[in-house]
Structure 1
């Protein structure tokens, strides 16, 4: 076990890294972050920050000389770097698990091997494969074409309704490997966050219900308003994924609940998740504290949510006319305001969030949206 006083490394410097740094320092660890941005949100709260390209050999050696173990805050870390780091220090999660989650095609193939349900799809490695798509596959339309790698928050995705659209979209996305996913009738989108490893077992946070706007998470509530059987199935699937990957760390599984009552896996995130921000103020343990516990070799704590929570994302859109008026958020005894310290607000950029805790999901969400509407008009 790695004891307090040692230095933990965090690859990536966004808000997820920032909260991981806070959790680590609260537990008595020093923190070294590595990110190309010298003013990243995580760097502001770290003991040490390495600024530069993730593929720099000198920076890699510098990072290794300072940390006893390392984790990541987003999955798009070069696999070459992760493989090299894992040879010298404890790295959580394992590079193989991250590689699966980095690539939508690999991810779908992995899930299919486990007979885990997903939406119908077709993968393309080249333009010639797009040209060869036959009439028997037309039932995939309407669909969404997604880059296999480097897509997030709705980026790298194009809706398509037929073969003509598909060819244009494939060109638009750069003629790179892509995944064509059939659009289905959705009842809800939910996510499940677990943490742990094969040795110490896995602990689950409550199932979370999510609403997206323009491909970006807008609101999350917990516990999700679903049949208990849905939560049981989601846990069973998430545990199977973790066990087959010998997973170590925090893993988020995003699910679709379709109109036929099926639980389908959308995608995996090998890290804490935006939808789990409510855990910072509830559950007795946050997803970020779990991330650090697993990294240092401690067993995961058992999360307990009393009552309910609602979270609303605050995007840069709210800053278009200047700094929002946060007085209502700060005046609400049930609300918790979180700002990420980002110096530049841009449309679509995650600048912070508000969490509201209450006796029920309906009450928590009502208050969260009341505060959000005030921010929109202030």
Structure 2
């Protein structure tokens, strides 16, 4: 762990080179830090705005040693970094936040939901699925419709398929590549919300106001925050985030995605061990946004004020949406954020826009 806050001019290592790393690097620069990025893509979004970058695979130990030598602390911008990479860097004596333990749990949907229940956090009913026979047994137990997801690596609707009748079991198992999976019971929810929260080295925790999320084809489309939810829902969501942060011994920002059932009952959907798409609204909406908060947490600085300054609707810009940038940039009471990706492919996150509502 860090024994003292990092001084101005220190270097933060960033595992991952995408748009989240880009926005983390910009926040770090604003606070007087440098960032060194490590990732597999040449000219990636984070590398474009960082002091240095190493392009290599996450299992390249020689490259990781070079990277580690330049860093005062190391963090990550997305959860699909191999936990073994974090363990290797820790073995070199580097401070890594969040740590490999938290990553191992949140990378695996079965371990994640099991962990949540151990912390007293409700989840949808689920079964682990390793074989087609497992899937058939799980369908018999949970019924249909139910959702089959790969245990690892899926995001934005990838690696998952709805099963609406038990006869679809084999086709569904083939659709996820026969990989180790999880079958989840359908949640009859009234809305989807998320809470983004941070924990520092001294155990201090701060949570942002709740965001209400709307997805299209499995990809987040919009987030409205602060969401019009009751004080009881806010309190319960923040309590869930606290349990998750403490249970994982987590350092940095994470997001907890929740279903709201009838009666304002909250059920955990997923944990994202990183800054999160549903927290982008904080850039214009909060005194301290999620990216600065993460930098503050991992460097041992005091956590910032997460209170809302205004209501914001964040809209993702996917694929060719970004080509409408002249009109978007001219919108009053709106801020356009562009990720620096060269090719707008269907479903690819190219940027987002934060529209101030009040």
Aligned to 2:333: 334
Structure 2 residue 117 is the aligned partner of structure 1 residue 112:
yes
What TM-score do you get using the length of structure 1 for normalisation? 0.90
**Which of these residues, 163, 172, 187, is aligned with residue 190 of structure 2?**
187
Q: CA-to-partner distance for each residue in 1:279-306, whole Å, 9 max, x for gaps?
A: 1123111111111111111121121212
Paired with 1:131 and 1:276, the residues of 2 have a C-alpha distance of 38
Aligned to 2:40: 36
Q: Which runs of 4+ in 1 moved over 2 A?
A: 125-135, 326-333
Q: Classify the secondary structure of the residue corresponding to 1:90.
A: coil
Paired with 1:69 and 1:125, the residues of 2 have a C-alpha distance of 37
Equivalent residues in 2 for 1:226-305, closer than 5 Å: 226-305=229-308
Q: Classify the secondary structure of the residue corresponding to 1:218.
A: strand
Paired with 1:3 and 1:133, the residues of 2 have a C-alpha distance of 53
Q: CA-to-partner distance for each residue in 1:138-166, whole Å, 9 max, x for gaps?
A: x4310110000010000000010122212
Q: Classify the secondary structure of the residue corresponding to 2:343.
A: coil
The answer as to whether partners of 1:102 and 1:149 remain within 8 angstroms in 2 is: yes
Q: CA-to-partner distance for each residue in 1:171-228, whole Å, 9 max, x for gaps?
A: 2212111111112222110000111236241011100000000000000010111121
Paired with 2:193 and 2:357, the residues of 1 have a C-alpha distance of 20
What TM-score do you get using the length of structure 2 for normalisation? 0.95
Cα displacement (A) at 1:345: 0.7
The answer as to whether partners of 1:336 and 1:354 remain within 8 angstroms in 2 is: yes
**Which of these residues, 53, 57, 65, is aligned with residue 53 of structure 1?**
57
> Once structures 1 and 2 are overlaid, which stretch shifts more, 267-276 or 87-96?
87-96
Unaligned runs of 5+ in 2: none
Equivalent residues in 2 for 1:80-95, closer than 5 Å: 80-87=84-91, 88-95=93-100
The answer as to whether partners of 2:201 and 2:298 remain within 8 angstroms in 1 is: no
Paired with 1:3 and 1:336, the residues of 2 have a C-alpha distance of 31
Aligned length: 353
The answer as to whether partners of 1:198 and 1:243 remain within 8 angstroms in 2 is: no
1:165/1:277 Cα in 2 relative to 1: closer, same or farther (>3 Å)? Answer: same
**Which of these residues, 16, 23, 30, is aligned with residue 19 of structure 1?**
23
The answer as to whether partners of 2:129 and 2:138 remain within 8 angstroms in 1 is: no
The answer as to whether partners of 1:145 and 1:166 remain within 8 angstroms in 2 is: no
Cα displacement (A) at 1:275: 0.8
The answer as to whether partners of 1:198 and 1:246 remain within 8 angstroms in 2 is: no
Structure 2 residue 224 is the aligned partner of structure 1 residue 225:
no
Q: Classify the secondary structure of the residue corresponding to 1:255.
A: strand
Paired with 1:118 and 1:25, the residues of 2 have a C-alpha distance of 38
Cα displacement (A) at 1:330: 2.5
The answer as to whether partners of 2:136 and 2:169 remain within 8 angstroms in 1 is: no
**Which of these residues, 6, 9, 18, is aligned with residue 10 of structure 2?**
6
Q: CA-to-partner distance for each residue in 1:4-51, whole Å, 9 max, x for gaps?
A: 112110010111000010011111111110110012100101111000
1:6/1:197 Cα in 2 relative to 1: closer, same or farther (>3 Å)? Answer: closer
Paired with 1:298 and 1:234, the residues of 2 have a C-alpha distance of 25
Aligned to 1:64: 68
Q: Classify the secondary structure of the residue corresponding to 2:281.
A: helix
Unaligned runs of 5+ in 1: 360-378
Structure 2 residue 152 is the aligned partner of structure 1 residue 149:
yes
The answer as to whether partners of 2:132 and 2:169 remain within 8 angstroms in 1 is: no
